Structure 1
Amino acid sequence: MTELLRGMWQYILTFNISIFDVLDVAIIAYIVYRVLMLVQRSRAAQVAKAILLLLVALGLSYLLQLRVINFVLSRMVEMGTLALVVVFQPEIRRFLEQLGSSRLGDMFSREEAPPDVENAITQTVQAYTSLSKDKVGALMVFERKVPLDDIIKTGTMLDSTVAAELLKNLFWNKAPLHDGAVIVRNGHIVGAGCVLPLSGNVNLSRDLGMRHRAGIGMSENSDAVVAIVSEETGSISVAVNGMLKRHLAPETLERLLRNELLPQEESFSKSSILTSLFKSKKGDKDDGEEVHGK
């Protein structure tokens, strides 16, 4: 063991490391980190675990000289490369959209929320509390890094601060814009009556209506946070990254919106916040029901 460690140390000393080598490793590490965070926030994490298990089995079959198993697994890995592109297509698209919509300075500077975002959250919770009691359907999309200009163009463009009374008027069932979604950008309403893409997941519960399917579809195609009120039951739901959290109390809605839309001073990532909300303890009154949209 001592000779092995000494040999490894001598091998390391032969490296001619430059600043470009360090930069090269740092860039790759950052890309891997972002990919892992992106996969962790979706159901693709389950697929990633299955792939990792398959690679471990391939390595063990090689070490144990299980030739037939190794041959079969090797062919599966070769044929599955193209399949991975199809399986992870939503995650790859979202990663490229986030990469294209981010500025270089955002990677190193502290994120600061626009001053109107906190007011928008407060007013939204007030409006949704009232809409939930009256069983009035509502659909709001909070834009984050991925621009939603194409979605805004499908409705009526507005420029207004978020107010509870305004939201209740927009979603009133006789209002001309009540059927579409309200788009919020940096704490301001920029569109109403907008058409959202529906989720293509055939495994969604049949209890979910078109409003919920549109909310899940929007969260699958962007990093937006979508808040929904059911017209049939009055229950409040939130869709993030293709996952739907149902039957939320107003306090839980406010906590979730704050965690997702306001920058966190703590060192833990937003994905851990979302996971803690979506995996809350049994018996909590606000737990609700989680529905996977992907």
Structure 2
Amino acid sequence: MTSFLQYCVNTLGYLRLMTVSDLIDIAILSFLFYKCIGIFQRTNAAKVAKALLLIIVAMWISYQFNLNAISFILNKAVELGLLALVVIFQPEIRRFLERIGSNNVSRISRFFRNETPVSDVEEAIQETVEAYGEMSKNRVGALMVFERETNLSNIISSGTPFQSTVTSELLKNIFYPNAPLHDGAVVVRQGKIAAAACMLPMSESMNLSKDLGMRHRAGLGMSERSDAVVAIVSEETGAISVVVNGNLRRHLSPETLGRILRNELLPREESASGKRRRPSLPFWKGRGGES
């Protein structure tokens, strides 16, 4: 009991010595740890993290029991492992830096352009829901990407430039089988179609369901690298899916699609009707699972 009280007294003494810079330092480290945990959860990095944890435990045991040979080997393995980690996590590190850079560019660009009218986004959502409902019935494949904070100029440049209002008829014509632009994705920026037939990066996850086609894998890949909202219609089954933050929800009704798009794309502040929009619900967990 005495040792516990002494520990508490020492802890309070350390807390009194903390400054504002210490708090900022702790906050930054906590944020970085949080992001690293998120990367581990979304990729195969969790397996590597478990292996690192085992190595650390083995190093501690070898130190405690004076196992000099094992300790020497593990220390050398850790030194070389730091370089190996950079190689192993190169895709994740690249995506992390890309998202930071594109988010900063997007925030800066908003100072030099007008905010997107809510009516444009609402109209784009309504037209998308109508088109997806019909394409789902007719089993016409579709893939749309709605840009948010992350700048998608590199994706837009890979397709055919557009500068058009989103309409149901236009979307059905773009995705009509054997139409010139039906392959690839339509990118919507600020409620307008920015490009069609865009090439999206494929997901590198090894844990995807076997029945997912190329559109779903491309949608997941786009969502893993950005904060975009991706809407998909399966050509095989006609099922409607949405991907947000690397999470996939499948077999949605057109009404559910519209509700999700409004929650994710429309501002949280009071809408033009004067009603306060409710905050976005916590998104679904799992990848490639049924809704």
**How many angstroms apart in 1 are the aligned matches of 2:289 and 2:7?**
56
**2:71 is equivalent to residue 65 of structure 1:** no
Please say if 1:289 is aligned against 2:271.
no
2:34, 2:145 → 1: CA distance? 27
Please report how far the alpha carbon of residue 22 of structure 1 lies from its aligned counterpart in structure 2 after TM superposition: 3.8
Over residues 22-74 of structure 1, what are the superposed CA-to-partner deviations in whole Å (9 max), with x where a residue is unaligned?
Answer: 4434433444444444555x235734762574367347636863847766665
Residue 6 of structure 2 corresponds to residue 3 of structure 1:
yes
Q: What do residues 197-236 of structure 1 show as CA deviations (whole Å, max 9, x unaligned)?
A: 3345566555443333332333333332222112222122
Give CA deviations for 1:99-140 in whole Å, capped at 9, x if unaligned: 22334996xxxxx98513333233222211110100111111
The code of the aligned residue for 1:101 comes to S
Structure 2: which amino acid aligns with 1:80? Answer: G
> Is 1:217 aligned to 2:221, yes or no?
yes
Give yes or no for contact 2:185–2:199 (8 Å, CA) kept in 1. yes
* TM-score, normalised by the number of residues in structure 2: 0.72
* CA displacement 1:244-265 (0-9 Å, x = unmatched): 4333333443344344434568
1:237 and 1:247 in contact (8 A); partners too:
yes
- Is 1:273 the counterpart of 2:282? The answer is yes
Residue type of the alignment partner of 2:8? L
How many residues in Structure 1 have an aligned counterpart in Structure 2? Answer: 271
Cα distance between partner residues in 2 of 1:148 and 1:288: 27
Q: Secondary structure in 2 aligned to 1:193?
A: strand
SS in 1 for 2:242: strand
Q: Which amino acid aligns with 1:88?
A: F
> Is 2:182 the counterpart of 1:178?
yes
User: 1:92 Cα deviation (Å)?
Assistant: 2.1
1:50 paired to 2:50: yes
CA RMSD of aligned residues (A): 3.9
Q: Which amino acid aligns with 1:171?
A: F
Q: Deviations over 1:156-214 (max 9, x none)?
A: 21122322222112212243212221001122210112222334556655544333333
Q: So what's the TM-score if we normalise by structure 1?
A: 0.72
What is the DSSP-based 3-state SS (H/G/I as helix, E as strand, rest coil) of the residue aligned with 1:102?
Answer: helix
Letter in 2 for 1:82: L
- Aligned partners of 2:27 and 2:105: how far apart in 1? 15
1:69/1:163 Cα in 2 relative to 1: closer, same or farther (>3 Å)?
farther
Structure 1 letter corresponding to 2:136: S
Read off the aligned partner of 1:184 and give its amino acid letter. V
Q: Is the 8 A contact 1:58 1:74 kept in 2?
A: no
2:153 to 128, 149, 152: 149
Q: List alignment gaps of at least 5 residues for structure 2.
A: 108-114, 270-278
User: Contact 2:63–2:71 (CA<8 Å) still a contact in 1?
Assistant: no
Q: Which residue in 1 is equivalent to 2:192?
A: 188
1:253 is matched with: 257
Change (3 A) 1:129 1:29: same
Q: Which residue of 1 aligns with 2:275?
A: none
Query: Which 10-residue stretch deviates more, 128-137 or 56-65?
Result: 56-65
Q: Could you tell me how far apart the structure 2 residues matched to 1:11 and 1:155 are?
A: 58
Give distance in 2, aligned partners of 1:273 and 1:45.
24
Distance in structure 1 (CA, Å) of the matches to 2:162 and 2:24: 45
Letter in 2 for 1:118: E
Aligned-partner SS, 2:282: helix
Percent identity of the aligned residues?
A: 52
SS at match of 2:202: coil
Q: Who is 2:273 aligned against?
A: none
Matched, 1:88 2:95: no
Residues 183 and 194 of structure 1 are in contact (CA less than 8 Å); yes or no, is this contact kept in structure 2?
yes
